[in-house]
C-alpha cells in the first residue's frame, strides 16, 4: 500500500461519555500544580502593574484616548508577534524559551519601577514600557498555551483550561485591590516593583518542571520562514479552528470596551480613586472564580455555543449597567457579572481552539487564536477610546453592548467544539516513500499523484470524499491540490498535490493523524481493483541541473 492512500483499519466506535471530571482534578499533577501556583503569583504582579499603568496615565494624561492607549500598547504586541512566537514555540524547547522571556519581563518591570520612583516617567515612556512587557507576553503566551495538554490527561483538559482562567482571575481579585492600597500607602512605583519580583516564582517553577521528551524525529525542523505559512495554512483549512476564531473576534471586539474604559469609569463616571478602581477589578476576579466553579455543569448542560451566548449576554448587561446606573455599588455588582461572563466565554473559546489542533502545530494555531484575541482587543480599545472622546463614555458602552448582542446571531452558524470528537494523535501509518535514491531535503517542489479506479456511478460520492481529504493535504503541508479524470478511460482519476520540498513531504508523513486516516479510508473505499491506488512522487529538477 502506498503512503498517500493506505488502507486504514475500520474506525473504532466512539467511546462512551466519560464521567464528570472534578474542577480540581488537574492539581493532582505536580508539574501542573507548581506552574499553576507560580503563574497566579506572577499574574498578581501583572494585574498590579496594569492597575498602576492605567492609573498612572490618568495622572499624566487623563484623556480617554491616552488611557485607552495603555491597554492597546499591552495587547498590540501579541497581535504583531504571536505568529512568530508560535513558530518558535513549535521549533525550540518551550521551557527554555519561557525562561528567557520571563527574565526579560522581570528586567523591564524593574526598570519601569525605577523610572516611576525617580519621577522621570512620561506618557511616551510609560507606553514604551507597557509595549515591551506586551512583547514578553506575546513571545510567552503561545508556549504557555501549548504546554497545557502535556501537563494533564486529555479528559482533564477542559478542567485545566478553566483552572488556568480561574487562576488569572484569582490574581485579578487580589492584584488590583493590593495595587490600590499600595499606591495610596507607598507610592505609584510599588506595584511595578512587586511585579518585577513576582516573576521569580515562574522561573523557579520552570526550573523544577521536567517536561517529557517529545516524540523523536530524525527530520530537522522546517525553516522558520516556512513554519509560519505552514501554520497559517493549517488554520485556514481547519473548519473547527476557523469557527472558533470567528466567534472569538465577534466577542472580543465589543468586550474590549469594558477593559479599555474601566479606569475612566472609576475616575470620571463614578468619581472614585485608585481604591475604587482596584475594587472593581477585584470584583471581576471574584466573579470569574465563581464562574469557573459553576462552568463545568453549565457547559455540560448548555454546550459551548449556548455557554458563549450566555457569557456574551452577561457582558452586554455589564456594559449597560455601567452606562445607565453609575453608582459604585451597582458597578461592583456588575463587575462580578462581568468576571463570570468573561471566564465562561474565554474558557469555552480556548478549549475549542485547543481541541482543534494536533501537537505538531499547536503553538502556531494557538498563536493565531491569541492574535485574534489581542488584535481585536487592541483595535477595540482604540476604537472605543475614540467613540468615548466624541460621544461620551456612557454612549460608547451602550454601543458596545448592542454590538456584542448583535454578534451572537451573526456568528451562530460557526459552531464551537467541533474538534472535541477528533483523534488528532499521529497515526504514523504512511510507509516510507518508494524512491530509487533518497533525495536531498531541499529538493523540490514535489508533486505527489495518487491514481484511483472508480466506478462511474460512484464518481459523485468519491469526489465529495476526496475534496474533504484535500483539506487534510493542505493542512499538513500541501500548497496546491487538484483532481483529474482520464478522458480516454472514464473512472480513472488522478489526485495531485504539491509540496515545497522533499523535507515538507517527509514532515507530512509524521503529521497525518488518526482522524485523517479515517478520511483516507473513506476515499480508498471507492477504489476498485486488486492493486491499491498507485502513488508516484515527482521531483522538480535539482537547482544545479
With a pLDDT cut of 70, the percent of the chain lying above it is: 94
Q: 244: pLDDT confidence band, cut at 50, 70 and 90?
A: very high
pLDDT at 7 over 80: no
Using alpha carbons, list the distances in angstroms from residue 27 to 34, 35, 161, 274, 395. 9, 10, 12, 34, 44
Average pLDDT, integer, range 515-525: 89
Mean pLDDT of all residues in 139-165: 83
Strand order in the sheet with 480-485: 480-485, 492-499, 446-453, 534-539
- The two most distant CA atoms of the chain are separated, in Å, by 87
Alpha helices in 118-189 (DSSP H): 123-151, 157-185
Burial of 150 (0-12, 13-18, 19+ CB in 10 A): middle
What's the mean per-residue pLDDT of the chain? 85
Q: Which residues contact 55 (CB under 8 A, 6 or more apart)?
A: 183, 188, 263, 274, 277
DSSP state of 436: S
What single DSSP character describes residue 268? I
Q: State CA 187 to chain mean position distance.
A: 36
**79-100 confidence digits (pLDDT tens):** 788 888 888 888 888 888 999 9
- Per 3-state DSSP, the chain is made up of helix, strand and coil in percentages (nearest 5) of 70, 5, 25
Q: What is the reported pLDDT for 508?
A: 87
Looking at residue 233, the DSSP 8-state letter turns out to be H
pLDDT at 166: 77
Banded model confidence at residue 6, pLDDT cuts 50, 70, 90: very low
Is residue 115 pLDDT above 60, yes or no? yes
User: What is the band of 254 on the pLDDT scale with cuts at 50, 70, 90?
Assistant: very high
Beta-bridged to residue 499, according to DSSP, are 446
Model confidence at 423, pLDDT cuts 50, 70, 90, reads confident
DSSP-assigned letter for residue 152: S
183 cis-preceded (ω within 30 degrees of 0): no
- 399 pLDDT higher than 80: yes
Secondary structure element (H or E) that encloses residue 452, with its range:
strand 446-453
Highest mean pLDDT, choosing among 10-14, 253-257, 278-282:
253-257
Q: What pLDDT score does 102 carry?
A: 93
Domain boundaries, the chain: 30-213+223-418, 446-539
What is the mean pLDDT of the segment spanning 489-501? 92
For residues 454, 458, 460 and 464, what is the CA-based torsion angle, rounded to 10 degrees? -70
Q: Is the pLDDT of residue 531 over 80?
A: yes
What nine digits make up the cell of 263?
Answer: 479606569
What is the torsional sign of CA 305, 300, 293, 191? negative
Given a cut of 50, whether residue 514 has pLDDT beyond it is yes
Query: Is a pLDDT exceeding 90 seen at residue 46?
Result: no
* Mean pLDDT, rounded, for 309-338: 93
| CATH fold for domain 446-539 | Alpha-Beta Plaits (3.30.70)
Band the pLDDT of 20: cuts 50, 70, 90: low
Q: Is the pLDDT of residue 136 over 70?
A: yes
Distance CA 86, CA 96 (A): 14
With a cut of 60, say whether residue 351 has pLDDT above it. Answer: yes
User: Cell numbers at residue 22, please?
Assistant: 472534578
- Report the distance separating Cα 338 and Cα 328, nearest Å: 15
Give the pLDDT confidence score for residue 5 in this predicted structure. 40
What is the C-alpha separation between 95 and 15, in angstroms, rounded? 34
CA distances from residue 345 to 261, 277, 469 in whole angstroms, order as listed: 20, 23, 32
CB count within 10 Å of CB 216 equals 5
Confidence of residue 19 (pLDDT cuts 50, 70, 90): low
Q: Distances from the Cα of 131 to the Cαs of 76, 99, 124, 128, in angstroms? A: 8, 19, 10, 5
Peptide bond into 166 cis (omega under 30): no
Hey, how many other C-beta atoms are within 10 angstroms of the C-beta on 475?
Answer: 23
- Whether residue 427 contacts residue 513, with contact meaning beta carbons closer than 8 Å, is answered with yes
φ and ψ at residue 188, rounded to 5 degrees: -65, -20
* 30-213+223-418 and 446-539, same CATH topology: no
Tell whether the model's pLDDT for residue 16 goes beyond 70: no
The label of the residue with cell 513558530 reads 87
In this prediction, residue 544 carries a pLDDT of 60
Residue 305 pLDDT exceeds 80:
yes
Cα separation, 508 vs 500, in Å, equals 11
Can you tell me the distance from the alpha carbon of 165 to that of 351, in angstroms, rounded to the nearest whole number? Answer: 11
Q: What is the pLDDT of residue 217?
A: 63
Residue that is written with C-alpha cell 526598570 in the block: 111
- The helix (H) or strand (E) run that includes residue 492 is strand 492-499
Over range 511-535, report the average pLDDT. 88
Check residue 422 and give its pLDDT.
Answer: 83
Selection from 529, 527, 528 nearest residue 5 by Cα: 527
pTM for the whole thing? 0.78
Give the model's pLDDT for residue 433: 83
Closest C-alpha among 204, 230, 95 to residue 150 = 95
Domain 30-213+223-418 has CATH 1.20.1250.20: yes
End-to-end CA distance of the chain: 32
CB 335 within 8 A of CB 291: no
The sign of the torsion formed by the CA atoms of 298, 300, 306, 312 equals positive
Amino acid at each position: 500500500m502506498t503512503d498517500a492512500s493506505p488502507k486504514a483499519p475500520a474506525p473504532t466506535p466512539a467511546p462512551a461519555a466519560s464521567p464528570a471530571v472534578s474542577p480540581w482534578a488537574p492539581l493532582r499533577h505536580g508539574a501542573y500544580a507548581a506552574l499553576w501556583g507560580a503563574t497566579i503569583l506572577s499574574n498578581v504582579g501583572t494585574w498590579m502593574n496594569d492597575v498602576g499603568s492605567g492609573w498612572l496615565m490618568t495622572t499624566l494624561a487623563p484623556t480617554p484616548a491616552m488611557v485607552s492607549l495603555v491597554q492597546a500598547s499591552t495587547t498590540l504586541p501579541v497581535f504583531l508577534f504571536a505568529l512568530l512566537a508560535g513558530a518558535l514555540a513549535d521549533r525550540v524547547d518551550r521551557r527554555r524559551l519561557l525562561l528567557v522571556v520571563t527574565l526579560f519581563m522581570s528586567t523591564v518591570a524593574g526598570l519601569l519601577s525605577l523610572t516611576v520612583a525617580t519621577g522621570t516617567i512620561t506618557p511616551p515612556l510609560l507606553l514604551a514600557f507597557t509595549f515591551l512587557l506586551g512583547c514578553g507576553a506575546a513571545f510567552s503566551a503561545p508556549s504557555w498555551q501549548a504546554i497545557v495538554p502535556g501537563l494533564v490527561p486529555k479528559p482533564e483538559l477542559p478542567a485545566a483550561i478553566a483552572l488556568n482562567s480561574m487562576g488569572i482571575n484569582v490574581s485579578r481579585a487580589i492584584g488590583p485591590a493590593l495595587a490600590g492600597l499600595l499606591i495610596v500607602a507607598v507610592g505609584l512605583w510599588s506595584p511595578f516593583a512587586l511585579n518585577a519580583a513576582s516573576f521569580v516564582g515562574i522561573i523557579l517553577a520552570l526550573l523544577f518542571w521536567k517536561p517529557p521528551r517529545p516524540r523523536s524525529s530524525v527530520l530537522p525542523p522546517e525553516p522558520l520562514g516556512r513554519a509560519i505559512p505552514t501554520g497559517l495554512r493549517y488554520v485556514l483549512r481547519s473548519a473547527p479552528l476557523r469557527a472558533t476564531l470567528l466567534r472569538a473576534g465577534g466577542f472580543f471586539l465589543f468586550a474590549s470596551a469594558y477593559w479599555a474604559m474601566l479606569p475612566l469609569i472609576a475616575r470620571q463616571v463614578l468619581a472614585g480613586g485608585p481604591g475604587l478602581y482596584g475594587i472593581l477589578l477585584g470584583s471581576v476576579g471574584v466573579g470569574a472564580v465563581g464562574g469557573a466553579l459553576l462552568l463545568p455543569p453549565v457547559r455540560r448542560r448548555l454546550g459551548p455555543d449556548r455557554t458563549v451566548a450566555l457569557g456574551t449576554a452577561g457582558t452586554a448587561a455589564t456594559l449597560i449597567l455601567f452606562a445607565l446606573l453609575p453608582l459604585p455599588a451597582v458597578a461592583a455588582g456588575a463587575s462580578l457579572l462581568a468576571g463570570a461572563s468573561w471566564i465562561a466565554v474565554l474558557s469555552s473559546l480556548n478549549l475549542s481552539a485547543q481541541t482543534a489542533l494536533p501537537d505538531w502545530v499547536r503553538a502556531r494555531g494557538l498563536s493565531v487564536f491569541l492574535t485574534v484575541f489581542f488584535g481585536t482587543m487592541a483595535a477595540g480599545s482604540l476604537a472605543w477610546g475614540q467613540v468615548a472622546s466624541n460621544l461620551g463614555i456612557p454612549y460608547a458602552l451602550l454601543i458596545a453592548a448592542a454590538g456584542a448582542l448583535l454578534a451572537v446571531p451573526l456568528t451562530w452558524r460557526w459552531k464551537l467544539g467541533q474538534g472535541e470528537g477528533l483523534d488528532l494523535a499521529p497515526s504514523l501509518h504512511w510507509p516510507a516513500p518508494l524512491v530509487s535514491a533518497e533525495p536531498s531535503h531541499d529538493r523540490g517542489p514535489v508533486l505527489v499523484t495518487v491514481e484511483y479506479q472508480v466506478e462511474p456511478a460512484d464518481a459523485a460520492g468519491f469526489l465529495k470524499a476526496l475534496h474533504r481529504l484535500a483539506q487534510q493535504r493542505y493542512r499538513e503541508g500541501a500548497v496546491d491540490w487538484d483532481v483529474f479524470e482520464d478522458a480516454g478511460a472514464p473512472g480513472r482519476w488522478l489526485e495531485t498535490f504539491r509540496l515545497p520540498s522533499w523535507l515538507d513531504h517527509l514532515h507530512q508523513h509524521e503529521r497525518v493523524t488518526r482522524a485523517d486516516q479515517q478520511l483516507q479510508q473513506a476515499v480508498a473505499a471507492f477504489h476498485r481493483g486488486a492493486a491499491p491506488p498507485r502513488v508516484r512522487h515527482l521531483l522538480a529538477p535539482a537547482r544545479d541541473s
